[in-house]
Amino acid sequence: MTDTLDSIPFDPARRPPLMTRPLLLRFVSILGASTSFYLLLSAVPGYAASGGGGGQAGLATGTLMLATVVGELATPALVNHFGYRVVLAAGLGLLGAPALALTFSRDLWCIVAVCLLRGLGFAFTVVAGGALTAALIPAERRGEGLALVGIVGGVPSLVALPLGVWLAAHAGHSAVFTAGAVAALAAIPAVPGMPDRLRVSGRPVGMTEGLRRPELLRPAVVFAATAVAAGIIVTFLPLAVPASATGLVAAALFVQPAAATLARWLAGRYSDRSGSAALPLPGLLLSAVGTLLTALTGSPVAVIVGVGLFGAGFGIAQNATLTLMYARVPTAGYGTVSALWNCAYDAGMGAGAATFGWFAAGAGYPWAFALTAVVILCALKPSLTDRRTALRAAAGGGPFQR
């Protein structure tokens, strides 16, 4: 059985050091991968749409996320065979080098091929890196440590999401693609300084078993529901607001990750002291309300407030669900938790982006955003069930798992 953080009383006197050299080097790879990913995440859909409309924009993001999910399912086995360093370096290379091909071709087949390769590369970096990061963070500071990781990964999204749109408009898409390639490739020299393999405890948890365990599946489903809107906002908000509102798009794509980063940090600090079990539900509700407000695409105030509320809910859900899932397995199961959580993230983003464009083409963007808010609320049942189960286990003083 595995003790959860919700069953460990907070004691400021027993706080082991958080920052170590391997963790700092890991931050370098996070910065490189995240900067590359987010620069192109907001720019490629517009690049694709210029040749075929919203359907092609959704196809680009959907392909990226589909490839990411497939790669995430395979990454734990690759890490077991090759170790962390090889998989991380390969991921950064696949994330960076293919982006340069977009500077030569706007053809849909080229965009899809690049998205496939970059999706695989991103999967390698987030799953292998996520398991390694979790193992490098002391269990007593897991919430704060994962929040810090969220900030390191959130800062690039804070800057790169709006920067990708701005660069594409003022310097051209080639500048965005080149910058994205350089960001990922420049992080590869940091990889050799990280651990290649780590000593783990407990029984390994395979992907099949992880998908059958409700204490892991419920938080993943809740997070996937919020991720649906995340993929939609970064892909379609630039297309949904009036064409003259370039400044509004850039501001919204700044506010959303800023709110998410701050909320993730606060959620992490809270969870180390009071537990994470109560946090996914408010994160889910804030995400739904924010998405509903964003449906008022003709109102700049509604859009900014909407993406801010969504970002806050998304950040809370990010930290709380990941903290809960890591706390419910031994260290030997970290790779599977990393894969499951990241699959939920990317499957949600990909499914939202791939379907939203087609629905919006018939019903319009406001109705499509409103429907997205309803989709988020479909995760209320697993959220409430997990909350009741976790709080009951914590009140009993025992571990969550049976």
First to last CA, the chain: 7
Question: Does the structure show a pLDDT above 70 at 200?
Answer: no
Q: How far apart, in Å, are the Cα atoms of 36 and each of 92, 239, 244? A: 9, 22, 27
**Three-state secondary-structure class, residue 94:** helix
Ramachandran area for residue 364 (φ above 0: left; ψ -120 to 50: alpha; else beta): left
Number of Cβ atoms within 10 Å of the Cβ of 370: 17
Query: What pLDDT score does 187 carry?
Result: 97
Task: Specify the range with the lowest mean pLDDT, choosing from 172-181, 271-280, 366-375, 381-390.
Answer: 271-280
Query: What pLDDT score does 243 carry?
Result: 64
199 exposed, middle or buried (CB, 10 Å; 0-12, 13-18, 19+)? exposed
| Sign of CA pseudo-dihedral 178, 183, 189, 194 | negative
How open is the CA angle 76-129-84, to the nearest 5 degrees? 60
C-alpha closest to that of 126 among 101, 97, 95: 95
Query: DSSP character for 241?
Result: S
Region 173-183 average pLDDT: 95
Structure tokens at 3: 């003790």
CB 251 within 8 A of CB 304: yes
Query: DSSP character for 9?
Result: P
Residue with tokens 């995340």: 230
Residue 154: pLDDT band (50, 70, 90) is confident
Structure tokens at 102: 């977009």
Reported as a single tens digit per residue, the pLDDT across 292-329 is: 999 998 899 999 999 999 999 999 999 999 999 988 98
Give the side-chain half-sphere CA count within 13 A for 26.
27
C-alpha closest to that of 136 among 11, 6, 21, 293: 21
Structure tokens at 211: 């998908």
Query: DSSP character for 344?
Result: H
Question: Does the structure show a pLDDT above 50 at 109?
Answer: yes
CB 186 within 8 A of CB 35: no
Residue 402: pLDDT band (50, 70, 90) is very low
Give this prediction's pTM: 0.78
Query: What pLDDT score does 235 carry?
Result: 80
CB 71 within 8 A of CB 33: no
CB 4 within 8 A of CB 327: yes
Query: What pLDDT score does 9 carry?
Result: 46
Query: DSSP character for 8?
Result: S
Write the CATH number of the domain with boundaries 17-197+204-395.
Answer: 1.20.1250.20
How open is the CA angle 386-74-80, to the nearest 5 degrees? 100
Return the higher-pLDDT residue of 385 and 272. Answer: 385
Question: Does the structure show a pLDDT above 90 at 276?
Answer: no
Q: Give the chain's mean pLDDT.
A: 86
Query: What pLDDT score does 227 carry?
Result: 94
Region 322-343 average pLDDT: 88
Reported as a single tens digit per residue, the pLDDT across 36-56 is: 999 998 788 888 877 655 567
Return the higher-pLDDT residue of 362 and 179. Answer: 179
Query: What pLDDT score does 10 carry?
Result: 44
Task: Specify the range with the lowest mean pLDDT, choosing from 131-140, 186-195, 207-216.
Answer: 131-140
What phi and psi, each to the nearest 5 degrees, are found at residue 299? -110, 110
Residue 381: pLDDT band (50, 70, 90) is very high
Question: Does the structure show a pLDDT above 60 at 125?
Answer: yes
Region 269-276 average pLDDT: 84
- Cα separation, 194 vs 21, in Å, equals 8
Query: What pLDDT score does 53 carry?
Result: 55
Reported as a single tens digit per residue, the pLDDT across 245-255 is: 768 888 898 89
C-alpha closest to that of 383 among 311, 324, 336: 324
Return the higher-pLDDT residue of 33 and 235. Answer: 33
